[in-house]
Structure 1
Amino acid sequence: MEVVLTNIWSVVMAIAVVSLLWKSLGKGRRMGFEKLPPGPAPAPVIGNFLQLRVKEPYKYYLELSKIYGSVFTLWFANTPVVVISGYQALKDSMLGLGEEFSGRGTYPLLLKVTNGYGILVSSGDKWKQLRRFSLMTMKNFGMGRRSIEDKVKEEANILVQSFRTFGDSAFNPREMITQSVCNVICSLILGQRFKSSDAHFKLLVNAVNAYFGVLNSPLGQAYNIFPRIVGLLSGELQKMFVTVEKVKDFLKLEAEARMKTLDPSLPPQDFIEAFLKQMEEEKHNPNNEFNFNNLLSTLWNLLSAGTETTSSTIRHSLLLMMKHPDVQERVQKEIDEVVGSDRCPSIADRQNMPYTDAVIHEIQRSMDLTPTAVPHKTLCDTEFNNYLIPKGTTVLPLLSSVLTDPKLWKNPDHFDPENFLDEKGQFVKSNAFVAFGMGKRACLGEAMARVELFLFFTSLLQYFTFRATVPPEELDITPEICSFGRIPRSYECYAVPRA
């Protein structure tokens, strides 16, 4: 990886030196951006790329917000990117001007994987149609309701049984957790769960891991700024693209098989069937966005994002419980008092478990899984904070600036469930909890993720006490990757059965 990046940067610098002979900084900027917010001076051709901390770019953004304020501009090559920081500025933009900021920013890696189709990368009417349909369909299949709860309980029970097989031995829970979460998504979009040995299931899980491995790497950051150059130099990128295409080929076969047997008079059994029925109903609509390309890319969006974000959070939750055994013990005490040992936890228990609810929220807040939301784009010329942001400008909402703001949290720099508890020990909601994003493009699967996090977390702690292979004070809880997202580091643990 480092060798590849060194080669990439060498090529980039060579291009920059040559370009200095014919392109000045002023000419490098496109007309129409004169009233953009201020920011650090960009270099010709490469912009602010060399100033970025490619392994932790969000920290650079946080530093710039202290210099330039809540709105500032960076240049990725010759493309301006406006960063919005702080709760009030994000509220004013993502909520107050939600429609204007609701476009999807150009992100070459996402565009390459989806070919420009699907709910994640679309904007305007296409996005509205796909999001409205997806929300309705997921709700019909029980997102946040009992049916999806039963599926999560099933996977949580299987995960508990898998952990039990290790007995007194230490193990790495990553693969098992990822498979369990992935199976929840598969039950929604494909109407079935898979055995861990299934070849297609292995392909799905491996593709998700490869995709986010690149997306969250310096290589992925470099590709998003210099896609043509980096795409030619990196074999790792090409390998990932091929793997994702194999997944889409599998999903296409699943959709084609359902199309042959689909009975429009019967209720759909999964997301694919629901989408195919919508394709049939909309086939005479000239503005119809329901086609195979949007179906396959939307399925990949749901599968990849739904698997990685939730599984990473669950893995990090166990790491934090090992780091803070006093918190783990208090959660288990609440589980014992409310749920007991004779039944599985249910989502209805959450209202009677304020401390556990606070712990889960604090895990998400302190983890800061997505420091910047997936890039937005202005759909029209937009005046904001006395600046003019032209139509089509990429906008980065800096969620990390809210989740770590000392003005909004009691103890923002440390893991502390008290951030979500009042003086009586009752759970307190906070508008500053933006772990799922903010505004019109907030996380599509938030309701489902909340169900999964509560049930997986409480089910595991109901049966096990988690211990690290090193003393708690020596346990490193810093993320392994801190780029596009913050991915928890790999670890081994002991799952000690509770009496």
Structure 2
Amino acid sequence: MLAVLLLAVIWGIVAYYRWVRQFPPGPFPWPIIGNLPQLAISQYPHKTIEAIGRPYGPVFTVFLPLPVIVITGYDEHKEALLGPKADNFSSRPDNPSDSLFMNVPNGGIIFSEGAEWTEQRTFTLQCLRLFGVGSRMMEAKILSSVQILFDHLDTLPSSNIDINWPLHLCVGNVVHEIYSANLFPHQQSQELKHYQDRIDLAMQMVRSRASVLIVQALPWTRHLPLIGKWGYHELRGIAEELIGYVEKQIEQSGDEPSFVNQYKQEMTRKGLSASFTYDNLVNTVTDLWLAGMETAATTIRWAIVLLTAHPDVQERLGDEMRRVAGDRMISIGDKAQMPYAQAVICEIHRMANVVTFNVFHKTYRDDRLGKHFIPAGSTVLPQISAVLASEELFENPDQFNPERFIKRTKEGGIELRKDRMEKVIAFSLGKRQCAGEALARME
């Protein structure tokens, strides 16, 4: 009996490693637990994954304990997410942690896939353009929110100012005005602040907790006491709070032009046969808030930190702004005359590295990526943070250096190195590129 059991174990181990060999090479996985021990003790899981996979090149596999194919190279990102392979690499796996923010299965625009995702994303992009994203109409709304921020800061003491919430509210009011036509004065923003604090906590959990990755890769672990609590149930509580708040905002939205009202009109026009339902409206607005408020505000906070730490860059940026705009507010129309500002913003996006883990992708058919075979149904992680911190693409990537995106002209001026700037893929690439990128860049 013991011999039979031993043979069964040996056969299982051999079969396991034969199965492992079909995926791109990576750090050695143990049966059942894969590479989880290496991540369980990590304070920064994204850095650990990048470090243990580095010897295997820009495409490798980690087992959590199910296989996740990680892409860390810029060229491999382009191959997978742009061109003829983009459709195959743009599906989404069914992860419990992601579905927490869905009010209906396959809802919204971040975590959904297929025809429903295409329909929702197309409509959302059309609405953003309708409400002026990328135009002077939206610029006026952003500048108005910025002026309100400045006026509020002028009322505060001259030292020890916590700028975190005023910045979030400045960005948040732009997003709120788009989807519900509502604005929140600083004196009446405490409820919004509570929910933003909850989003901040959720984002911190996703960035730093290996347990969230484990639950995504192995859904049944959400039922385990510690992993389930830290990687699923705390996030679930936050998601339920946020969805409830979004439903309340939708109910309170008036008749003014807004994303909510445009969506309701589309619901009436298309009827029940389409993906335009009330639950999907809640999902999509939740996605807009998650993507449009947190990431933009965090990037601006990083800008303040980096410019404060580098007064020489701050001084040169100020000189360019005064030369171009004088005493007036900077506008989008000034962009072409401000190459140094564009280089600074690009370097801020690279250094801030706001999304330490991209949302998982999935393939629906067999494919190849470089020299590697990618089986159908594979979970794929396009690791944007690895591209932004790549020593091959950016010399001394840990240093804040806008000059890396500038070259001198024969006439003594400066021009942008767009070949390098295009490698700062902070908003991802291809079909899953951030839908709010145009708004975020304006802000």
TM-score between the two structures when normalised by the length of structure 1: 0.78
Shift of 1:245: 2.0
Match of 2:276 in 1: 290
Q: Contact conserved, 2:222 with 2:228, CA < 8 A, in 1?
A: no
- The code of the aligned residue for 2:155 comes to T
Shift of 1:133: 0.8
User: Is 1:178–2:168 an aligned residue pair?
Assistant: yes
Partner SS for 1:72: strand
Match of 1:401 in 2: 386
- The code of the aligned residue for 2:319 comes to K
Q: Please give the alpha-carbon distance, in whole angstroms, between the structure 1 residues aligned to 2:75 and 2:373.
A: 18
Partner SS for 2:67: strand
Q: Are residues 230 and 220 of structure 1, via their aligned partners in 2, closer, same or farther at CA, if it must alter by over 3 Å?
A: farther
- The code of the aligned residue for 1:81 comes to V
Match of 2:404 in 1: 419
Match of 2:422 in 1: 431
User: Is 1:35–2:22 an aligned residue pair?
Assistant: yes
Counterparts in 2 of 1:324-473, with a 5 A limit? 324-341=310-327, 343-424=328-409, 425-429=414-418, 430-452=421-443
Match of 1:105 in 2: 93
User: Is 1:310–2:296 an aligned residue pair?
Assistant: yes
Q: Contact conserved, 1:410 with 1:418, CA < 8 A, in 2?
A: no
User: Is 1:247–2:232 an aligned residue pair?
Assistant: no
Q: Please give the alpha-carbon distance, in whole angstroms, between the structure 2 residues aligned to 1:173 and 1:123.
A: 37
User: Is 1:144–2:134 an aligned residue pair?
Assistant: yes
User: Is 1:273–2:261 an aligned residue pair?
Assistant: yes
Q: Which moved more, 1:246-255 or 1:148-157?
A: 246-255
Q: 1:321 aligns with which of 303, 307, 312?
A: 307
- The code of the aligned residue for 2:324 comes to V
Shift of 1:199: 5.0
Q: Please give the alpha-carbon distance, in whole angstroms, between the structure 1 residues aligned to 2:248 and 2:156.
A: 37
Q: Are residues 151 and 42 of structure 1, via their aligned partners in 2, closer, same or farther at CA, if it must alter by over 3 Å?
A: same
Q: Contact conserved, 2:35 with 2:64, CA < 8 A, in 1?
A: yes
Match of 1:60 in 2: 48
Counterparts in 2 of 1:94-173, with a 5 A limit? 94-96=81-83, 97-115=85-103, 116=105, 117-173=107-163
Q: Please give the alpha-carbon distance, in whole angstroms, between the structure 2 residues aligned to 1:405 and 1:205.
A: 32
Partner SS for 1:432: coil
Q: Please give the alpha-carbon distance, in whole angstroms, between the structure 2 residues aligned to 1:389 and 1:214.
A: 30
Q: Please give the alpha-carbon distance, in whole angstroms, between the structure 2 residues aligned to 1:366 and 1:332.
A: 20
Shift of 1:312: 0.7
Q: Please give the alpha-carbon distance, in whole angstroms, between the structure 1 residues aligned to 2:15 and 2:61.
A: 17
Q: 1:202 aligns with which of 168, 193, 207?
A: 193
Q: Contact conserved, 1:159 with 1:177, CA < 8 A, in 2?
A: yes
Q: Contact conserved, 2:53 with 2:61, CA < 8 A, in 1?
A: no
Q: Are residues 25 and 315 of structure 1, via their aligned partners in 2, closer, same or farther at CA, if it must alter by over 3 Å?
A: farther
- The code of the aligned residue for 1:242 comes to G
Partner SS for 1:166: coil
Q: Contact conserved, 1:28 with 1:45, CA < 8 A, in 2?
A: no
Q: Please give the alpha-carbon distance, in whole angstroms, between the structure 2 residues aligned to 1:230 and 1:388.
A: 37
Q: Please give the alpha-carbon distance, in whole angstroms, between the structure 2 residues aligned to 1:345 and 1:183.
A: 20
Q: Are residues 257 and 163 of structure 1, via their aligned partners in 2, closer, same or farther at CA, if it must alter by over 3 Å?
A: closer
Match of 1:73 in 2: 61
Q: Which moved more, 1:89-98 or 1:322-331?
A: 89-98
Q: Contact conserved, 1:33 with 1:389, CA < 8 A, in 2?
A: no
Q: Are residues 280 and 426 of structure 1, via their aligned partners in 2, closer, same or farther at CA, if it must alter by over 3 Å?
A: same
Shift of 1:230: 5.3
Q: Please give the alpha-carbon distance, in whole angstroms, between the structure 1 residues aligned to 2:380 and 2:359.
A: 9
Q: Contact conserved, 1:73 with 1:80, CA < 8 A, in 2?
A: yes
Q: Please give the alpha-carbon distance, in whole angstroms, between the structure 1 residues aligned to 2:230 and 2:347.
A: 39
Partner SS for 1:396: strand
Unaligned 5+ runs, structure 2: 1-7
Q: Are residues 82 and 230 of structure 1, via their aligned partners in 2, closer, same or farther at CA, if it must alter by over 3 Å?
A: farther
Q: Please give the alpha-carbon distance, in whole angstroms, between the structure 1 residues aligned to 2:318 and 2:326.
A: 10
Q: 2:212 aligns with which of 212, 216, 220?
A: 220
Q: Contact conserved, 1:195 with 1:201, CA < 8 A, in 2?
A: no
In angstroms, what is the RMSD of aligned CA positions? 2.7
Q: Please give the alpha-carbon distance, in whole angstroms, between the structure 2 residues aligned to 1:26 and 1:305.
A: 44
Q: Are residues 376 and 315 of structure 1, via their aligned partners in 2, closer, same or farther at CA, if it must alter by over 3 Å?
A: same
Q: Are residues 210 and 359 of structure 1, via their aligned partners in 2, closer, same or farther at CA, if it must alter by over 3 Å?
A: same
- The code of the aligned residue for 1:338 comes to V
Shift of 1:156: 0.9
Sequence identity percentage: 31
Shift of 1:409: 2.9
Q: Which moved more, 1:62-71 or 1:295-304?
A: 62-71
Match of 1:189 in 2: 179
Q: Which moved more, 1:39-48 or 1:440-449?
A: 39-48
Q: Which moved more, 1:195-204 or 1:365-374?
A: 195-204
Q: Which moved more, 1:352-361 or 1:170-179?
A: 170-179
Match of 1:16 in 2: none
Counterparts in 2 of 1:78-89, with a 5 A limit? 79-89=66-76
TM-score between the two structures when normalised by the length of structure 2: 0.87
Shift of 1:386: 3.7
Q: Contact conserved, 2:212 with 2:230, CA < 8 A, in 1?
A: no
